[in-house]
Amino acid sequence: MTTGVGLRERACSGGAGAGSGITVLKVGGASVGCIELGDEPTVVVHGAGPQISEEMARRGLEPQFVNGRRVTTPEVLAIVRESFAAVNAALCESIGPRAVPLFGDQLGLAARHVPELGLVGDPLPCAPAPLVGALLAGLVPVVAPLARGPLNVNADEMASALAVGLGADRISFLTDVPGVYLDGELIDTIAAARAETMIEDGVFEGGIVPKLLAAAHAARHGVAADIGVTAVAA
């Protein structure tokens, strides 16, 4: 495990590169209770897609997505926060006493507003002091992906932004599928540039799109990235 001083210097610098010892683990709302943590400093970023959609359906609201990203109205944002709170609590209980519940907007996470998606933002790389402090104390930050505004942020993109900002060694996307499928076959690796081109060409659609883009972004900034068993290489 990295020393406290090394972690502090790398995390606060915002520079990417191997050696920080940090792992960022992105957990989908459907994967709560399925995570296993090692000894390395770990940040968990979670979504709550199934829970949000279920609650919206219960209230008679039709979900809208653009390239896998949820359109967020003020009414939907309230549901998003409630769902994040429930998933965050469940994850913290699953992880145990080392878990620290954190909401991105309370951490001061910044994002560029995306008006066409409503109250949604594109996250900026960062290393918030409370999160770094938790890592230095040997704790596991469990982050709900909201940004200042507040703005709803795609959890995959938030995980990637934190991985880059912290200079993490690795980012891993835990999903309810084993990895990335291409032409019906599970693939071992895909280059970031190829993934981005194939997304532009419409080869990939739906929820895998933001995961691939987020993994490609992290890989290009020196963070080893994987989606299940599929490595996304720079």
| Residue range 138-183, pLDDT digits in tens | 999 999 999 999 999 999 999 999 999 999 999 999 988 899 999 9
pLDDT (average), residues 51-69: 87
Q: How many domains does the chain have?
A: 1
pLDDT of residue 42: 97
User: For position 12, which CATH number holds?
Assistant: 3.40.1160.10
pLDDT (average), residues 63-90: 90
The beta strands (E) that lie in the chain are given as 23-27, 42-46, 65-66, 69-70, 99-103, 111-113, 121-123, 140-144, 146-147, 151-152, 170-174, 181-182, 185-186, 189-191, 224-227, 230-233
Q: 14 pLDDT exceeds 50?
A: no
pLDDT (average), residues 35-53: 90
pLDDT of residue 1: 38
Query: Would the CA dihedral through 85, 122, 159, 175 be positive or negative?
Result: positive
Given a contact cutoff of 8 angstroms between Cβ atoms, the answer to whether 9 and 167 are in contact is: no
pLDDT of residue 3: 37
pLDDT of residue 28: 80
Using a cut of 0.85, tell me whether the model's pTM lies above it.
Answer: yes
Q: How far is CA 83 from CA 1, 25, 26, 119, 230, in A?
A: 33, 19, 16, 16, 29
- Phi and psi dihedrals of 174, rounded to 5? -90, 120
Three-class secondary structure of residue 104 per DSSP? helix
pLDDT of residue 15: 43
Q: Which residue has the higher pLDDT, 8 or 77?
A: 77
pLDDT of residue 66: 79
pLDDT (average), residues 16-36: 73
Per the prediction, the chain carries an average pLDDT of 89
Q: 6 pLDDT exceeds 70?
A: no
Q: Which residue has the higher pLDDT, 18 or 13?
A: 18
**Percent residues over pLDDT 90 in the chain:** 77
Q: What element of type H or E holds 75?
A: helix 74-95
Which residues constitute the domain of residue 40? 4-233
Q: Which residue has the higher pLDDT, 43 or 6?
A: 43
The three-point CA angle 152-180-77 to 5° equals 10
Three-class secondary structure of residue 184 per DSSP? coil
Exposed/middle/buried for residue 136 (C-beta within 10 Å: 0-12, 13-18, 19+) = middle
Which of 153-192 are b and which e, b meaning 16 or more Cβ less than 10 Å from the residue's Cβ? bbbbbbbbbbbbbbbbbbbbbbbeeebbeeeeeeeeebeb
Q: 16 pLDDT exceeds 80?
A: no
